[in-house]
Amino acid sequence: MSVLTDLIYGGSNAVAGLTEGAVKDAIAKYGEDRKVAFPDTAYFLPTIYAATGVKVSKLGDLTACVGVQKSLITNEEDLGAALNAGLATAVGAEIIEALKYVESDAPYEGESGIGFVPDPIIRSLGVPLVTGDIPGVAVVLGEAEDPAAVAAVVKDYQSKGIMTFLVGNVIEQCAEAGVKMGLELRVIPLGHEVTSVIHVVTVAIRAALIFGNVTPGDLPGLLAYTKERVPAFVNTFGALNEVVVSAGAGAIALGFPVVVDVDLGENQVPGALESVTDHTATVKKSLDLRGIKIKVKELPIPVAFANAFEGEIIRKGDMQVEFSSHKMPTCEIVQTREESQVEDHKITIVGADLNDLEPGQTYALATLVEVSGAKMQSDFESVIERKIHAWYNYMEGVMHTGQRNQIRIRVGKEAFEKGLRLSHFAEVLYAMIMDEFDIVVDKCQITIITDKDQVQEMLDKVAMPAYSQRDERLESLTDESVDVFYTCTLCQSFAPSHCCVVTPERLGLCGAVSWLDAKATKELTPTGPCQPISKEGCEDEAKGVYPDVNRMVEEATHGALSKVTLYSIMEDPMTSCGCFECICGIEPFSNGVIIANREYAGMTPLGMTFGELASMTGGGVQTPGFMGHGRHFIASKKFMSAEGGFERIVWMPKELKEDVAERLNKSAKEKYGIDNFCDMIADETIATDEEALMTFLNEKGHPVLGLDPIM
C-alpha cells in the first residue's frame, strides 16, 4: 500500500473504532430511545442524512450508521476507495460530535469554538456568497510550528473576505497573534478536537440540501454539488497524523482541495492534496486550486479595507471620536448634478478634521456625494447612497450604523493613530463608486462637513427635501405604475433552478434586491442577473399572472419552472432559493398564515421553528402553502392578494411585528379599514401553540375568522 492510502485507512479505522465504542457507551448510559440532535437544524445529522437519507433522531439509530461508516472502509489499494474511507471519517466525526450534544445542551459553552452552525446562519450566508462578497470558504486546521505563520495566513484570508473556520490549536495561536474573530469578522473558531471540523463540512452539505435541492440519499448528487458549487478548501498546519489525513481524504471526496505545510513528496495528489512549505505561498496556492479570484482594491488609506471588517464593533473606550445623530445633526446624501457642476475626484473637508476634534466627543457630520453621468438616473441615487454604510464599515477601525440622517460613526483610536482622516473616508467613497458604478457615474466629487451649523444647513436644505422626494417616489412605485418587472438569478450559483421576480411591491426574497436595485443592476451589467420582464397581457390581476413572467422564468431556470404567480401562495407560488428573510406558512386552524423571520430562534404555533419551516421549501422548487419572502413584502397590498392578502396574517415574532407595524397598520387601514391591525396579530409572547393562538384570535375578533377557507 502507498503511504497515503495507508494513513487514510489507519485514520478511518481508528475513528470507526472510536465511534463504535462511543455509541455503545452512550446507549449503555442513556438507552436507545434517548434523543440525539444538533441544535436548530431541520436536517438531523446532516452528513448522514444527505449521504444516506437516514433521519437519525435517537441513539438507537446510530448503530446502523456505524455499520454504514464501517462499510465505507474497504481497505482497498485505490485512491477512490480511500477517499470513501475519508467520508467514513466524516460520518464518525459527526456521530462523535452529536454525542457531545447528548451529554449537554451546550457542549461548546465556555469553549473557544462555536461547534455546530445552525441553519439560519447558513441561509444568511447565501447572498454574500452569490454576490462574491464572500469569495470562498477556508478551513484552517492543526497547530502551526510558527504561530505567526498561521496568523498571517488567516489575516490574509480575512482581508480578502474569505470565510475562515479554525479547528485545533490554531485557534489560540491566532487569538494570541491578535486575529479578530467572530462570525461577522469571518474568522470562526469551531473547536479544538479534530472532529469539530465536521461543523464546517455540514455547512457545505446543508447548502446542498437548502439551496441545491439535492435529494437526501443521493450521494453522487451531493458530492457533485459540493465540488462544483461550494468554494471551500482546507489548509493544515503542523505534523499530520492519520486521523487528520483521513479527514482530509473526506474533504477531497467532497471536492475541497487540501494544502498541507509538510512535504508529502510523491504522495501529493495534484489538484487535490498538495504541499506548500513556504507559508507566504499558502494563500495563493489554495485560491488557485479552488479557482477563487480576488478583486484587489488598493486604496490610498492608512488602514485595511475589507468586507470582513463590516461587523467590527468599536466600544466607547476604544474610540477616538464619534459622529452621531443622537446628539448632533448628521446626513449622508447622493445627488445627481449637471456635468459642469462636478469636478471629478474633488474632495472637500469643511470644518475640523479628526485631528482637530477633541477625543472621546460626539460631533456632527454630513457626507455629500455629487455625481454626474450620461446614464445616471435619480433612481440610482438611493442605490449608491445605501452602500455608504458598507463602504465606511469596510475600513478597519471604523464602525458605521444607520443611513440618511440617522447615522452613527465611530473612529477607533488605533485607526486614528495610523493616520486615518476624513479625506480617506472620501477617497474610499470615490474609489468604490468609480469601481462599482462606473457605467452610470462619469464624474464624482465628495464633500465632508463637520462644522455643526453647516451640517445643519446641508441637512435642512439639501438632504431632507431629497429624502422626502425620494420617499414620495417610493410610495408611488407600485406594481401598476411601472412598465417592467425584473428577474434576479444571482442565487443560481447555489440554487441552479431558482429565479426571483422582482417588482416594486415585491422585493427579492433575500431582502437585498429592490426593484430599484434590479433596475440599477440591469443598467450596470446589461447581460447580468436582472433582466426586464414585460407586463403586457396580464391574465389575472389578483394572482399576478403574466405571460412574460412565465416565459422569462422558464428561460432563466432552463425549463425547470414554467408557471409562476406573483401574489399567490397556493397556486404556482414563486420559488425560493433558501436565503429568504422570512418564511410564510399556512396555519390550518385559523385559515390564516404565520410568518417567521430568520433571526427568530423560538417555536411557532405550527410546531416548527424557522429552520424547520424553511426546510419545507427552497432549492428553486414550488411548494404551495409555503413562501419565502423579504420583510418589506409583508405590508404590501399585493402580499398573497390571491388568497385575501395580509389580512390572513395571524402570527409573527414580536421583533418582526414591531419592525413592520407602522407600514402594515397603514396598509390595513387603507385596504380593509382596520385600525391597529398589528394588535390582532399574535406573537411568541402570546401564543406558541395553536390553541392559545385561536383563543387570542377569537378574543381580538381577527378578520381572518370571517374569511373563506384558504385551501
| Single-letter amino acid, residue 228 | E
3-class DSSP string for 14-83: HHHHHHHHHHHHHHHHHCCCCECCCCCCCCCCHHHHHHHCCCCCEHHHHHHHHHHHHHCCCCCCCHHHHH
| Single-letter amino acid, residue 12 | S
Burial of 244 (0-12, 13-18, 19+ CB in 10 A): buried
What minimum distance in Å lies between the beta carbon of 123 and Zn ion? Answer: 8
Beta bridge partners of 403: 406
Residue range at the interface with ligand SF4 (CB under 6 A); choices 171-179, 291-299, 313-321, 506-514:
506-514
What minimum distance in Å lies between the beta carbon of 498 and ligand SF4? Answer: 6
For ligand SF4, the closer CB: 7 or 533: 533
Please tell me the count of residues contacting ligand SF4 according to CB under 6 A: 14
* Residue 490: contacted member of Zn ion, ligand SF4, none (CB under 5 to 8 Å, by partner type): ligand SF4
Rule CB under 6 A: is residue 488 a binding residue for ligand SF4? yes
For Zn ion, the closer CB: 363 or 626: 626
What minimum distance in Å lies between the beta carbon of 510 and Zn ion? Answer: 5
| Single-letter amino acid, residue 86 | G
CB 46 within 8 A of CB 202: yes
The three cell numbers of residue 398 are 471604523
Classify the C-alpha dihedral 561-567-569-571 as positive or negative.
negative
Residue range at the interface with ligand SF4 (CB under 6 A); choices 229-237, 407-415, 422-430, 486-494:
486-494
Beta bridge partners of 333: 368
Rule CB under 6 A: is residue 645 a binding residue for ligand SF4? no
Residue range at the interface with ligand SF4 (CB under 6 A); choices 139-147, 389-397, 408-416, 505-513:
505-513
* Residue 150: contacted member of Zn ion, ligand SF4, none (CB under 5 to 8 Å, by partner type): none
- Strands 362-363, 319-324: pairing is parallel
Residue range at the interface with ligand SF4 (CB under 6 A); choices 181-189, 208-216, 507-515, 659-667:
507-515
Residue of 338, 462, 437 whose CA lies nearest to 380: 437
What minimum distance in Å lies between the beta carbon of 579 and ligand SF4? Answer: 5
* Residue 512: contacted member of ligand SF4, Zn ion, none (CB under 5 to 8 Å, by partner type): ligand SF4
The secondary structure of the chain in percent helix, strand, coil, rounded to multiples of 5, reads 45, 15, 40
For ligand SF4, the closer CB: 100 or 498: 498
* Residue 508: contacted member of Zn ion, ligand SF4, none (CB under 5 to 8 Å, by partner type): ligand SF4
Q: Choose which of 90, 127, 243, 553 interacts with ligand SF4 (CB under 6 A).
A: 127
Rule CB under 6 A: is residue 491 a binding residue for ligand SF4? yes
What minimum distance in Å lies between the beta carbon of 225 and Zn ion? Answer: 15
Q: How far apart are CA 259 and CA 252, in angstroms?
A: 11
Kindly list the residues in this chain that would bind Zn ion in the complex (CB under 5 A): 126, 491, 577, 579
Q: How far apart are CA 82 and CA 87, in angstroms?
A: 9
What minimum distance in Å lies between the beta carbon of 211 and Zn ion? Answer: 7
Q: Choose which of 232, 247, 273, 577 interacts with ligand SF4 (CB under 6 A).
A: 577
Q: How far apart are CA 655 and CA 115, in angstroms?
A: 27
DSSP structure string for 90-122: HHHHHHHHHHHHHH-S-TTTTSSS--SPPHHHH
Per-position x/- string for 74-113, each x denoting binding to ligand SF4 as judged by CB under 6 A, each - no binding: ----------------------------------------
Q: Choose which of 142, 508, 585, 619 interacts with ligand SF4 (CB under 6 A).
A: 508
Q: How far apart are CA 336 and CA 592, in angstroms?
A: 45
For ligand SF4, the closer CB: 250 or 508: 508
Burial of 150 (0-12, 13-18, 19+ CB in 10 A): buried
The three cell numbers of residue 111 are 469553549
For ligand SF4, the closer CB: 160 or 632: 632
For ligand SF4, the closer CB: 556 or 664: 556
For ligand SF4, the closer CB: 466 or 499: 499
Classify the C-alpha dihedral 87-92-95-97 as positive or negative.
negative
Q: Choose which of 579, 583, 697, 710 interacts with ligand SF4 (CB under 6 A).
A: 579
Rule CB under 6 A: is residue 614 a binding residue for ligand SF4? no
What minimum distance in Å lies between the beta carbon of 357 and ligand SF4? Answer: 40
Per-position x/- string for 443-462, each x denoting binding to ligand SF4 as judged by CB under 6 A, each - no binding: --------------------
Residue range at the interface with ligand SF4 (CB under 6 A); choices 38-46, 248-256, 489-497, 551-559:
489-497
Residues in the chain, overall count: 711
Give the residue nearest to ligand SF4 (CB).
508
For ligand SF4, the closer CB: 621 or 674: 621
Residue range at the interface with ligand SF4 (CB under 6 A); choices 192-200, 461-469, 484-492, 648-656:
484-492
Beta bridge partners of 411: 321, 398
Rule CB under 6 A: is residue 26 a binding residue for ligand SF4? no
**Nearest 5°: CA angle at 224, between 54 and 40?**
45
Angle between helices 242-253 and 3-30 (to 10 degrees): 100
Q: How far apart are CA 595 and CA 651, in angstroms?
A: 6
Q: Choose which of 81, 474, 512, 674 interacts with ligand SF4 (CB under 6 A).
A: 512
Q: How far apart are CA 335 and CA 343, in angstroms?
A: 14
What minimum distance in Å lies between the beta carbon of 673 and ligand SF4? Answer: 33
**Nearest 5°: CA angle at 478, between 476 and 483?**
110
What minimum distance in Å lies between the beta carbon of 651 and ligand SF4? Answer: 24
The three cell numbers of residue 458 are 446641508
Please tell me whether residue 569 adopts helix, strand or coil conformation. Answer: coil
Query: In this structure, how many other beta carbons lie within 10 angstroms of the beta carbon of residue 169?
Result: 17
Q: What is the DSSP letter of 462?
A: I
Rule CB under 6 A: is residue 578 a binding residue for ligand SF4? no
Place of cell 473616508: 425
Residue range at the interface with ligand SF4 (CB under 6 A); choices 63-71, 177-185, 359-367, 504-512:
504-512
For ligand SF4, the closer CB: 127 or 249: 127
For ligand SF4, the closer CB: 86 or 120: 120
Can you list the alpha helix ranges (DSSP code H) found in 421-463? Answer: 422-436, 452-458
Give CA 41 to chain center in angstroms: 16
Q: Choose which of 490, 574, 586, 680 interacts with ligand SF4 (CB under 6 A).
A: 490
Kindly list the residues in this chain that would bind ligand SF4 in the complex (CB under 6 A). 127, 488-491, 500, 502, 508-510, 512-513, 577, 579
